[in-house]
Amino acid sequence: MDMNVYFAEWLIRERLAEARAAGARDALIHAHRPPRQPMRVALGLVLIRLGQRIQSGASPLTAH
């Protein structure tokens, strides 16, 4: 059972169009999202805050 060449070309064009549309959607979504901090930066800031809290002697219940 041979596939019609024209149908195969149409099917490929449709899939390419869908992939391009999905790529364009993703690009728009990521263009409007603010850049995120790398995980190492976020972890470093958390560790700094933890160290400052330990040095100040504040208990976790009273430090709000």
pLDDT tens-place string over residues 37-51: 899 999 999 999 999
Domain membership of residue 52 (yes or no) is yes
In the chain, how many domains are there? Answer: 1
When computed from its CA atoms, the radius of gyration of the chain, rounded to whole angstroms, is: 26
Its pTM stands at 0.47
Q: Let me know: does 63 contact 53? Beta carbons within 8 Å.
A: yes
pLDDT tens-place string over residues 3-39: 789 999 999 999 999 999 999 999 998 888 787 889 9
Domain membership of residue 25 (yes or no) is yes
The total of other beta-carbon atoms located within 10 Å of residue 41's CB is 10
What domain range includes position 33? 5-56
Q: What is the pLDDT of residue 60?
A: 58
